[in-house]
Amino acid sequence: MSEPLRLGVIGCGMIAQAHAAAIRLLQEDGVVRAVAAADPDDDGVERFAAIVGGLERRSRDGLDIVRDDEVDAVVLITPTRFHRDYVLAVAAAGKPLFTEKPLAPTFPVVRELCTAVAASGIPAQVGFQSRFHPIVRRLREIVETGELGAPMGYTLRDDQYWPTGAIVPGHTSWRSDVAEAGGGALLEHSIHSCDVLGWIFGPVSRIYGTKRHVFGYTVEDTAALTIEHDNGVVGNLVTIFNGVRGREERRLEVFFEQGALELTTDFVVGAPEDSLLIQRPDQPAERVDVAALRAEWFTRDGCDPERQVWVYQFFAHRAFAQSLQAGRAPSPGFADALHAHAMVEAGYRSCERRVPVELSEVLGDA
């Protein structure tokens, strides 16, 4: 077996704890080893260190991680506005990168980072962990095999409690400020769904969007998109940051030529909300055993189905390390992120202009 991939982590806040839980399990498997972490907040680093165990080096400056000769790959988990400088530094250093989404608050910076990463040739993965959800994977398999015929249209609802300190004690509040976050429910949260929709139904051609700011922040808490894909599939996405603490769900209904399905997913492995219902012609609807489905996908992935994994970041980090070991480009990568960001940007431009916006305009004019 090859040596564990030595990870250096920049940013040890809220979601870094999910990464830490994933990394800890992968350390047990000898796949990775967290050797260094940086955050201006010492408590954050200590919290991260307590979860992963055995952290060798700590810093308040993320550039120490980039410069560290004993860090093989960098994991970037700072608030979104700090991604730019670190991504450029990691690309310049030629190190593999696993970065959280969104790539940046504004689309021109997203373009800049995608160009820099492509030019540098570094292997880079983006934190769209929904792609590793067994129900999402099963849906993609149904679309790819055509077992229900071609997909025709879909309706998707994302909702999440407001992930900001004013609503959830202990959370930071940068997500409420458009200058820091770049956007609200659509960019910060539903970029995951934009990625999933592009991954499953293919590239998007056109988007019409509208949004609201019900809670009075500078970022939107409510947005609705009508989405047209290049292959003709049409759908809509409604995303809400609401006041119901603890709630974060994706509800998707897909209509095919010969069937329909309804799925609900949550961000935690084995969440009670998870469900999948498949309707075929002239048959009672099949309520899929999601625990069995999860065990099947764990097994297909070479992971013990009894393993106590609670975050999909486990599969994302595992795929990242395996890609580097095999010399493959990690996935989802920056090109995937560019498409998801272009969907969000087209949505925002459409909200401003109140007319549909072509993705070719967004991708061509930056």
Ligand X SMILES: NC(=O)c1ccc[n+]([C@@H]2O[C@H](COP(=O)([O-])OP(=O)(O)OC[C@H]3O[C@@H](n4cnc5c(N)ncnc54)[C@H](O)[C@@H]3O)[C@@H](O)[C@H]2O)c1
23-45 as b/e, with b when 16 or more CB fall inside 10 Å? bbbbbeeebbbbbbbbbeeeebb
Under rule CB under 6 A, residue 259 binds ligand X: no
**Residue (37 or 288) nearer to ligand X, CB:** 37
Size of the site for ligand X (CB under 6 A): 25
Q: Which of residues 151-210 bind ligand X (CB under 6 A)?
A: 172, 188
Q: Which of residues 69-128 bind ligand X (CB under 6 A)?
A: 77-80, 82, 100-102, 127
Under rule CB under 6 A, residue 239 binds ligand X: no
DSSP string of 280-343?
-TTSPPEE--HHHHHHHHHHHTT--TT----BTHHHHHHHHHHHHHHTPPPSS-HHHHHHHHHH
Between CA 251 and CA 100, with CA 273 as vertex, the angle to 5 degrees is 70
Interface residue with ligand X, options 6, 15, 168, 323 (CB under 6 A): 15
Under rule CB under 6 A, residue 66 binds ligand X: no
**Residue (170 or 302) nearer to ligand X, CB:** 170
**Residue (249 or 358) nearer to ligand X, CB:** 249
Q: Which of residues 37-56 bind ligand X (CB under 6 A)?
A: 38-41, 44
CB of 234 to ligand X, least distance (A): 27
Q: What single letter denotes the amino acid at residue 99?
A: T
178-205 as b/e, with b when 16 or more CB fall inside 10 Å? bebbbbbbbbbbbbbbbbbbbbbbbebb
Could you tell me the two tokens for 188? 């910060």
CB of 115 to ligand X, least distance (A): 20
Give dist(CA 206, CA 327) in Å, integer. Answer: 35
Phi first, then psi, for residue 341 (nearest 5°) are: -65, -35
Q: Which stretch binds ligand X (CB under 6 A): 32-40, 211-219, 249-257, 318-326?
A: 32-40
Under rule CB under 6 A, residue 19 binds ligand X: no
Which residue sits closest to ligand X, CB atoms considered? 13
Under rule CB under 6 A, residue 220 binds ligand X: no
Interface residue with ligand X, options 5, 10, 97, 278 (CB under 6 A): 10
CB of 99 to ligand X, least distance (A): 8
CB of 195 to ligand X, least distance (A): 10
- In sequence order, which residues have a C-beta less than 8 Å from that of residue 345 and are 6 or more positions away? 107, 110, 362
**Residue (25 or 219) nearer to ligand X, CB:** 219
- In sequence order, which residues have a C-beta less than 8 Å from that of residue 128 and are 6 or more positions away? 101, 191, 192, 195, 196, 316, 332, 336, 337, 340
Which residues of the shown chain bind ligand X in the complex (CB under 6 A)?
Answer: 10-16, 38-41, 44, 62, 77-80, 82, 100-102, 127, 129, 172, 188
